[in-house]
Chain A
Amino acid sequence: MVKLHIHRERSIESLLKEHKGIILKVCAMYVPHRHPHSEEWREDVRDLFQEIALKLVESWPKYRGKCSESTWVYRIATNVAISNLRRFAKRRIVLVDETTLDLLEAEADDEIVERLYRRIDKLSDDERQLITYAIGKVPLKEVADIMGLTEDAVKHRMQRTKEKLRNMKDDYEE
């Protein structure tokens, strides 16, 4: 059977409209929560959101549909979050409205969520990636492909990371 590769044009707006939820979740997972209610934190979220959005548009022509589109977005977003955390572009191209940042901040204001993120901040890049994929319900096989591991290894590491997160002591308990 001949497989047709159709070049699909995709604007930055349509990609963002569909996947801004995933981008925001990855931003929340990866922007450190040392100062959750500061302009520094909001600026980091704006920067990471922009970097992920631009990378998605840049990488779109290479997407061949081998995995689901949401898995592809998770993969790009976590890679950008890990590699670009400390070297963001200065120019503002993608603008997130202030209300969204206010709501995100208010959401992180919850004591339990704050505790959760303080624990997540202590995870390694790989562990954080695994938790992101697990909660994002990315299929095990696709996680294995992304991380270059066997499905069994992913399952084992995911379980271990979940246990680590559960058993981690909060700062005030130490």
Chain B
Amino acid sequence: MTMKNNDDILEVLEQHWERVDEIAEQSHVRVVRWHLPESPRRWVRSIAASVVAIAAAAVLLFITVPQPDGIYASNLSHRNEAIEYINKMRTEVIL
């Protein structure tokens, strides 16, 4: 390419841009999708879902795992009966 005088300079730029266009046509641009910023709404949704899941797990654990006295918290009437029985026994022993 030649630039005989300075008047050609913008023509040189135009020709150069045409070649850059050709380069762009052949180019391959890849996007790594999982790094794209997520929308705040999606973040709020995922946090809310986590909180609900943790709360559900805590309730399930409280209901199904026996308390230290061997009585399931899920059956509160049994628990109350047991406490009443123990108190009665204690009273009898003291008396």
Are A100 and B35 in contact (CB-based, < 8 A)?
no
Q: Which of B12, B19, B31 contacts A94 (CB 8 A)?
A: B31
Q: Is the interface of A mostly helix, strand, loop or mixed?
A: helix
Which residues of B pack against A, CB within 8 Å? Answer: 1-3, 6-7, 9-10, 12-14, 16-17, 19-21, 23-32, 35-36
Q: Is the interface of B mostly helix, strand, loop or mixed?
A: helix
| CB of A152 closer than 8 Å to a CB of B | no
Closest to B34 in A: A93
| CB of A33 closer than 8 Å to a CB of B | no
* B9 → chain A closest CB, angstroms: 6
* B27 → chain A closest CB, angstroms: 4
Which residues of A pack against B, CB within 8 Å? Answer: 12-13, 16-17, 20-21, 23-25, 28, 49, 53, 91-97, 99-100, 103-104, 107, 110, 112-113, 115-116, 119, 131, 134-136, 162, 165-168
Chain B contacts for A93, CB-based, 8 A: 31-32, 35-36
Q: Which of A16, A91, A107, A119 contacts B23 (CB 8 A)?
A: A107
Interface centre among B2, B10, B13 (most CB of A within 10 A): B13
